[in-house]
Amino acid sequence: MVVFPNAKINIGLYITEKRPDGFHNLETAFFHVPWTDILEITPSDRFSFTSTGLAIAGNLTDNLCVKAYHLLKKQFELPAVDIHLHKIIPMGAGLGGGSADATYTLLALRDLFNIPLTNQELIPFAQQLGSDCAFFLEDSPQFGTGKGDHLQAIETRLTGLWALLIFPNFGVSTQQAYSGVKPQKAPFYLPDALKPPVESWKNTISNDFEKTIFPLFPQLETIKENLYEMGALYAAMSGSGSTMFGLFAAEPSEEFFQNKNFTIKIVQF
């Protein structure tokens, strides 16, 4: 079985409080992005995980696809499988690629072996794998609260718009992202703030992580400014970075960012 885990972007991200368990509560809007990895799972005599494409750092046991398999195997009699991941979505980029891979592993295993679980019933499994994994069980944009794992559908769509995504080929660590963050109540109810036209978001909707990350990596703020100079209706950092994106009414050109050692992707919603 072959599936195509997709990326996401966040539009608006507000850190609202620190939790007793050390995590933070936040409010954000998740949108699917048509930029995918390729994941193949086949029955086998013995379990294996292999990957091609972008090099995946870390131990095999730490890989979220492997964790997803063993998580389901604890509860259901799963046979051994070969999991092959062709990695395309940059890692440590704020695009949710690893979370998507994990969630699509759950979905593929369910469908391959006819496990009697609905997407709704897969949510507790996804939540154990990562804060934003549950989003990839949904087809539509979602408003995320809690750690980002409590979701409700929102009306806003990006249909017809274009996105220019710029990954500067360096990541931002979680420690860097949260250093200096001062949790506070969100300034508004984000699903309502997303209802006006996209071009109005520039003056209202922001990502709290930009306040702490831009001083550490000024290049990211420059990219955001460049996106607006190119005519972006809205530009921001996705998640905790380091990917910057701009939303455009017409197909943008990547020419301005060429020869800068960036990973560039243009997609249409």
Catalytic residues: 8, 132
- Calculate Rg over the CA atoms of the chain: 19
Element (H, E) at 225: helix 218-229
Q: What are the binding residues for ATP? A: 90-100
Q: Are 242 and 94 in contact (CB under 8 A)?
A: yes
Q: Which two tokens stand for residue 161?
A: 């718009």
CA 234 to mean position of chain CA atoms: 18
Report DSSP letters for 146-198, one per residue.
Answer: TTTTEEEE-S---TT-EEEEEE-S----HHHHHTT------SS-HHHHTSS-G
Binding residues: 90-100
Helix (H, G, I), strand (E, B) or coil at 138: coil
